[in-house]
Amino acid sequence: MEYKTSDVNGEHIEVKQGYRRQVVYMEPQTEFETTKQAIRIKQLFTDFDADYCVLDTRNAGIAIYDALAKVLYDVERNVEYEPWSCMNDDNLRSRIVIAGQKEVVYSIKAQLETNSKIAVCMKNTLNSKMIELMVPNQEGVEELQRIVPDYETADVETQLFYERPFLETVALINEMIGLEYTVQNQTGLIKIEERSGARKDRYTSVSYGNYFIELLEQDLFSDSSEYEYVTFYN
């Protein structure tokens, strides 16, 4: 949570600014088998000690949700993952009911109006500089050379493993640069499309997560005062 601090009549006041977004890791999902995709999601969820999973549940996404809603055994890590449940869609939640499910999945089934809200939210976040992306690949390699002792002597596949998040960040930026925004004449809603031959998967993933954070902020601000008075000791 970001705060802007100021003094009013000698008292310290902190004004809530919202959550700072940090995109700290990205990877493409190349596995098409739904159970394996779900296990990878839960691996990352565990690795980053996450609290929520924002999931596109349209089309093939519903099968991913069904897998996440079940107990999964990860052979690679020899660990069993607890089942998840949806936190914002009763119909989705009732598809699979298993004891011990945790409500961590936020489902998005974006239609034109929702997509417009997501696009506006992402634009506002970028303009307000409330999101931080990873550095470009060259800077990332310099950091890897500094903090990973075996990076320079590693084989190409291992080096690529370390570099991939930075490469994905570059791909994300290129995707966003290449997007085309159009405003619908009758509704005033924004429609975002990729150019011919291009993709917007990374943008979609980040913008969905950003939209969910926006909803968390609205909920947080509605439950408490805009100002918080605190005492500072030197």
Q: Write down the pLDDT at residue 231.
A: 32
pLDDT value at position 202? 94
Along the chain (234 residues), what's the average pLDDT of each consecutive run of 10 residues? 49 63 88 90 96 93 96 97 96 95 94 92 92 92 93 94 93 92 86 85 95 90 50 36
Query: CA 16, 18, 23: angle at the middle one, nearest 5?
Result: 150
What pLDDT score was predicted for residue 32?
A: 77
Alpha-carbon span 13 to 128, nearest angstrom: 21
User: What pLDDT is attached to residue 2?
Assistant: 55
Task: Give SS3 for 114.
Answer: helix
Write out the two tokens for 117: 């809200």
Per domain, the residue ranges of the chain are 111-224
pLDDT value, residue 47: 96
d(CA 11, CA 2): 19
What pLDDT shows up at residue 223?
A: 56
- The pairing of beta strand 53-56 with beta strand 102-108: parallel
Distance from the first to the final alpha carbon of the chain: 23
Given this model, what pLDDT does residue 16 score?
A: 60
